[in-house]
Structure 1
Amino acid sequence: MKDKLDFDTLFKMHYNDILRLAFFITTDRILAEDVAQEALLIVYDKLHTLKDKSKFKYWLNKIVINCANQVLRKNSKYIYTENIEFINDVLNVDIDKNDPLYIMEEKELNRFIYSAIASLGDLERKIFVLRYFEKYSFKEIADTLEINASTARTIVFRGKKLLENKLEQYYNPDPKEMGNQM
């Protein structure tokens, strides 16, 4: 990567990844867009300070996480909303436009998965996103979030169990609860 990178190139190369990570941390489209823009400006401004260019992705994600944390602190009373179309864009959902039933089922499953991930605690959600969406190793997660690698492993294990339980409930709903909804 060149030391001097124009902003448009930086934007084209990294905006979608930045936005995806910001969205999973903030769980809000508008906040995620704010985070992505702020993070891009910081990256562009501070790129010359990065000594090891091979660590660019980790450095970039650390900036995104820090920006997201700042925005969440500032907006701690903000009411979060779900926007399924934006969620599908962020998740890069590729659906068959010719099958309305498939589209409906896919959107519902994506909404459920997003909701399950969003229900994780702040640290759990960050670790889960870094591990499964950004493909970080436990050491990279630990370095990025400044925690112990074994803590990251434990949290991923608990998060997976929680998501597995939620997916089990999605695919095998309790008939008693379904009766109460009718």
Structure 2
Amino acid sequence: MNEQELHERIKRMCEGDEESFRQVYEHIKLHVYRTVSLLVRNPADVNDVVSEIFTELFRSMPNYRYNKPFRSWLNGLIIRQASSWNRSLWRSFRLLDRSKHLNVSEPSVNVDDHILQDEEHQFLINLIIKLPYKQKSVLILRYFQDYSFEEMADMLNIPVGTVKSRHHSAIRTLRQKANLQDLIYPNKEGLLNV
């Protein structure tokens, strides 16, 4: 589905056309699920976050500006919802930790097998998932969604320099954690070579 067809379906969806909503949903559901899988620490929370994203998508659709690419707008929505979810979980964790009612262990990281097929990619994904949220979101948008630094800056409402700084910090952290100088290195376009 190209951008123009998507815009037509979005307009009809805003008018209450359920079939258009179903078509938009079918077009974006895998993208949303994969992105959330990479942004949310606990795999058990992925479906809840995806549901919240589609609820917010339906609620926010009248605010969509057709002069911007839909996928950029959608990714901004995904990032905000995942960030909100992670923040609310962190607040809950701190409250529980203070009251000493919960014995917390490190969450296990397990991305669905259909996302990545070989072990090197899975290893790299596991390292990315463990990064701080701001670094992780920049890497996911850059390497899994193919956005430029300028597009990410616009989507995240931060300066391009901040995006580049987060990107550089994330790459440096990945190298330090994995000691993979030969496996992970950015080429002159800033893309990961794996």
Per the TM superposition, whether the score is higher than 0.5 is yes
Q: Residue 80 of structure 2 is aligned with which of 48, 66, 77?
A: 66
Q: Secondary structure in 2 aligned to 1:67?
A: helix
Paired position in structure 2 for 1:177: none
CA contact (8 A) 2:139 2:167 kept: yes
Runs of 4+ in 1 over 4 A off after TM superposition: none
Structure 2 match to 1:80: 107
Q: CA deviation at 1:129?
A: 0.6
What does 1:4-19 align with in structure 2 at a 5 Å threshold?
Answer: 4-5=12-13, 6-19=20-33
Q: Relative CO higher for 1 or 2, CA cutoff 8 Å, sep ≥ 6?
A: 1
Could you say which residue in structure 1 is the equivalent of 2:134?
123
1:149 is the counterpart of 2:160: yes
Partner of 1:161: 172
- Write out aligned runs for 1:32-47 (5 A): 32-47=46-61
Q: Distance in 1 between matches of 2:182 and 2:89?
A: 31
Could you tell me how far 1:56 is from its partner in structure 2? Answer: 1.1
Q: Structure 2: which 5+ residue stretches go unaligned? A: 1-6, 14-19, 94-103, 184-194
> Matched residues in 1 for 2:110 and 2:130: separation?
16
Distance 2:180 2:60 in 1: 45
Whole-angstrom distance in 1 between the partners of 2:146 and 2:181: 27
Q: Say which structure is richer in helix.
A: 1
**Number of matched pairs:** 155
Query: Could you tell me how far apart the structure 2 residues matched to 1:50 and 1:128 are?
Result: 25
Task: Tell me if structure 2 keeps the 8 A contact 1:32–1:68.
Answer: no
The answer to whether the 8 Å contact 1:142/1:148 transfers is yes
Q: Distance between the aligned counterparts of 2:153 and 2:110, measured in 1?
A: 31
TM-score (norm 2): 0.70
Q: Which deviates further from its counterpart, 134-143 or 46-55? A: 46-55
Q: TM-score, normalised by structure 1?
A: 0.74
